[in-house]
Amino acid sequence: MKKDRLATIWREWVKPLLVVGFVLGTLRSAVADWNDVPTGSMRPTILEGDRVFVNKLAYDLKVPFTLLRVREWRDPARGEVVVFFSPHDGKRLVKRVIGTPGDRVEMRDRMLYVNGAVAHQEPVDVASFDLALPRSVVAATEVIGGHRHPVFGNLDRPSMTSFEAVVVPPGSYLVMGDNRDNSFDSRFFGFVSRDAIVGQATAVAMSVDWDHFRPRWNRFFTRLP
């Protein structure tokens, strides 16, 4: 009697749940996933508490639960937001691609130069972002690879605002956060290997303001610039 009950539980509950879990895990591993963002390194494009949608088929098809590529369609493009494993500590990070293989990238007083051309910036009123920010924060709209996106800087806490020209090696990428003075990125940990890139972050799926414990409805299902 007890064995029959256990067999029924296995057949009608445990086994179906395992199958569903395996299918969902496979889809998250190889097709689509989400990434929770706990820091402000991509402000104002991505805020703390955002959950971003990650398209894992944007660049290639991988063997589920591995980084082994079965088929490759294209490489990450300049200006796209990608999710990758940090070469510093292996954690998953979200940053913007600034330099692709062969690009010559440098930064002079917060202005980016890619292959000798300046990344155009236009000043923006910080108040337009509806965020509680100190007076020292400055904002601009920047264009990288045809992607028009906002960037932040902090005049009171400057990070690495300039660096000498570097050439991105084959199979590697230079990435940076949009919150330039509050981002641990390629300026500090170096280039990111193509094999370490998980996929492209394309949208904010949902967002929660944890300081006030309330959803940010206006950010649900919004595309990333």
Is residue 95 among the annotated active site residues?
Answer: yes
> What CA–CA distance (Å, rounded) separates 135 from 128?
14
Q: Which of 56, 95, 172, 186 is catalytic?
A: 95
| CB hemisphere CA count around 96 (13 angstroms) | 27
| Structure token digits, residue 217 | 């409805």
Which residue in 105, 56, 53 sits closest to 79, CA to CA? Answer: 105
Q: Which of 41, 172, 186, 207 is catalytic?
A: 41
Is residue 172 among the annotated active site residues?
Answer: no
Exposed/middle/buried for 5, CB within 10 Å: 0-12, 13-18, 19+? exposed
- Pairing verdict, β 137-144 and 92-99: unpaired
DSSP label of 179: B
Catalytic center residues: 41, 95
